[in-house]
C-alpha cells in the first residue's frame, strides 16, 4: 500500500473542526507536497499535519544544516522542490505526540533541537517551551 493510501492518524485531534492555516503555512504545504520522493509522500504528510493541528504550530521543509542546503534551487525550474527534512515547531507538552506522528509518517530519522539550538534557530531567548523536530527521509 502506498503511503498516500494510508489513513492519516487523527488520534491527536482535540477538535475535529479544521482551522484555517496562515498564508505562509499554506505556501509551505504546497512545497511539502512538491517534495515527494522515495519514501517521502508529501501529500500524506500534509494531510496528516492538517488533520492534527492541535499538536504543532508550524511546519516547513528544506535541507537544514546540510551541505547542499540550497539544492532545492537546482530542480525548481523542473517543478520539483528537492528537500528531505521536515521541521516541525511544537511545544514541550506536545513533543511526544509530534514524535509519534513523525514515526507514523515513516521518517527515517527524527532529531530534536536542543534548547540552545532552538533559541538560535528561532531567534528567540528564552525558547519559552518551544521545541523543534527535524524529521528526515532518505
Residue 2 has pLDDT above 80, yes or no: no
Distance CA 92, CA 94 (A): 6
Domain-wise residue ranges, the chain: 21-136
Mean pLDDT calculated for residue range 40-48: 93
pLDDT category at 112 given cuts 50, 70, 90 is very high
Here the cell at position 9 is 492518524
Q: Averaged over 8-32, what is the pLDDT?
A: 73
What percent of the chain has pLDDT above 70?
A: 86
CA distance linking residue 137 with residue 63, whole number of Å = 11
Predicted pLDDT of residue 7:
53
Cβ-based burial of 26 (10 A; exposed 0-12, middle 13-18, buried ≥19) = exposed
Instruction: Using alpha carbons, list the distances in angstroms from residue 76 to 4, 27, 82, 137.
Output: 23, 15, 8, 19
Amino acid at each position: 500500500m502506498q503511503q498516500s493510501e494510508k489513513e492519516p492518524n487523527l488520534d491527536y485531534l482535540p477538535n475535529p473542526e479544521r482551522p484555517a492555516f496562515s498564508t505562509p503555512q499554506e505556501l509551505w504545504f504546497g512545497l511539502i507536497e512538491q517534495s515527494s520522493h522515495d519514501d517521502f509522500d508529501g501529500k500524506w504528510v500534509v494531510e496528516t499535519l492538517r488533520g492534527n493541528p492541535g499538536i504543532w504550530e508550524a511546519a516547513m521543509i528544506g535541507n537544514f544544516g546540510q551541505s547542499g542546503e540550497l539544492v532545492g534551487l537546482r530542480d525548481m525550474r523542473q517543478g520539483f522542490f528537492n528537500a528531505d527534512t521536515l521541521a516541525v515547531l511544537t511545544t514541550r507538552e506536545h513533543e511526544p505526540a509530534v514524535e509519534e506522528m513523525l514515526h507514523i509518517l515513516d521518517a527515517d530519522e527524527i532529531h530534536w533541537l536542543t534548547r540552545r539550538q532552538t533559541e538560535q534557530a528561532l531567534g528567540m531567548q528564552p525558547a519559552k517551551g518551544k521545541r523543534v523536530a527535524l524529521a528526515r527521509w532518505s
